[in-house]
Structure 1
Amino acid sequence: MSAAKTKAQAIINENAVAVFSKSYCPYCKASKNLLDGLGAKYYLIELDQVDDGSAIQSALADISGQTTVPNIYIGQKHIGGNSDLQAKKGELKSLLTEVGAI
């Protein structure tokens, strides 16, 4: 397994909520705003601000099949991107409570 894939998998495994993002991405901002609005605690990694960001993004494509950001995991389950997260708005609070993120 590549170092990037090991790192990405460790982030997913060790955090109730993991958000793989890019700082300039409007969809990422919308996801972070939604989580912040609920008071969620989440691990955030801005892939455009870390040296191995593109390698991590490639590794995430292997792990989840998703090549875009945001790439969101709650309770080690792949949620998807911003539209997937927004679609779960109704159940999000209970989902986050379940994993201890709020």
Structure 2
Amino acid sequence: MSTAKVQKIINDNGVVVFSKSRCPYCSDAKGTLRSLDAEFQVLELDQMSDGSDIQTALQQLTKQRTVPNIFINKKHIGGNSDLQKLSTGQLKGLLKEAGAI
């Protein structure tokens, strides 16, 4: 998958979490977003035929290969630890800007 296709996914969704279904850090990040009743798109890369291609494209776009790889309002947030570093107020503000809450 080209970086252009991944960028389109990011551009078309207010909040995107590129995830793997058995990843505890991914579960934590999704739980944090759910706790704020945020609407978000999840792509479980380990359940997609082109998941490794998406992961490679994400690495080219963000220099981050690990998951979760989180975008809010087309802005790369980073991984779960980056998401957790945001205060609840900061995160709510970003989610509101993205139209996710």
Q: TM-score, length-normalised on structure 1?
A: 0.94
Q: CA deviation at 1:6?
A: 2.5
- 4+ residue runs of structure 1 moved beyond 4 angstroms? none
User: Conserved in 2, the CA contact under 8 Å of 1:4 and 1:52?
Assistant: no
Q: CA deviation at 1:16?
A: 0.6
Of stretches 7-16 and 53-62 in structure 1, the one that deviates more from structure 2 is 7-16
Can you list the C-alpha shifts for 1:1-22, whole angstroms capped at 9, x where unaligned?
A: xx34232111101111010000
Give the count of matched residue pairs.
100
* Structure 1 residues 7-22: aligned runs within 5 Å: 7-22=5-20
Q: d(CA) in 2 for partners of 1:51 and 1:89? A: 35
C-alpha distance in 2, partners of 1:29/1:92? 17
Contact map agreement 1:27 1:82 (CA 8 A) in 2? yes
Once residues 43 and 18 of structure 1 are traced to their aligned partners in structure 2, the CA distance between those partners, rounded to angstroms, is 5
Separation (CA, whole Å) in 2 of partners of 1:89 and 1:29:
19
Matched to 2:74, the amino acid is: Q
Render the CA deviation track for 1:44-99: whole Å, top value 9, x for unaligned: 10000000000000000000110100000001000000000000133101110111
Q: State the match for 2:49 in structure 1.
A: 51
| Structure 1 residue aligned with 2:68 | 70
Give the superposed CA RMSD. Answer: 0.9
Of all paired residues, the percent bearing the same amino acid is 56
Could you state the TM-score of these two structures normalised by the residue count of structure 2? 0.95
Unaligned runs of 5+ in 1: none
